[in-house]
Amino acid sequence: MLSRGARNVVLLSRSGRVDGNVAKLIEEAHAINSQVFVHACDVSDKEQVQNLVFKGISKLPPVRGLIHGAMVLDVSPFVPLAVILLTSPRMFCSRR
């Protein structure tokens, strides 16, 4: 998505940890003048989601799209993960 012109991408996870692949992604984004932000957010928690949308990322350009990829498999807790994409110009606008 970054390679297709998304300028601002927000990644969410419960921990908000930035390491390994995520750290690498942030660097790669910088190299092409884009930004990847990582926020800690349990998406199943209404308040945390509202806080994120109305405070945490309110300084960024408006949200244009969302990929909801949260999952917890069986009883083994999996890190819920959701991705929000923000793009200031309409980068993915073939819909209209």
Partner 1 sequence: MNFQQWHNVVEGKVAGAWNFHNALQNSDLDFFVALSSVAGIVGNRGQAAYASANTFLDAFIQYRLKQGLPASSLDLTAVSDVGYLAENAEKQAQVSENLGSETIREAEVLALLEAAITGKMAKFSNNHCITGLKLGSDAQDMFWANDGKFTRLRLAAEAESANNNTAAATLSLSRALKQAHSWDQALNLVCDGLMNKVSAVLMVPREEMDPSKAIVVYGLDSLVAIEIRNWITRELEVSLQVLELLTSSSILALAETILTKSKLAGNELMGNGTR
Least Cα distance to 61 among 44, 84, 40, 95 occurs for: 84
End-to-end CA distance of the chain: 19
Assess 22 for contact with partner 1 (CB under 8 A): no
CB of 30 to partner 1, least distance (A): 22
23 binds partner 1 (CB under 8 A): no
Binders in 56-85 for partner 1, by CB under 8 A: 62-75, 77-78, 80, 82, 84
Q: What angle do CA 92, 48, 77 make, to 5 degrees?
A: 90
Whether 44 and 70 have beta carbons less than 8 Å apart is answered as yes
Q: Is 49 in the site for partner 1 (CB under 8 A)?
A: yes
Map tokens 């990582």 to a residue. Answer: 38
Smallest separation (angstroms) from partner 1 to the CB of 36? 17
Q: Where on the chain is the footprint of partner 1 (CB under 8 A)?
A: 43-46, 49-50, 52-54, 62-75, 77-78, 80, 82, 84, 90, 92-95
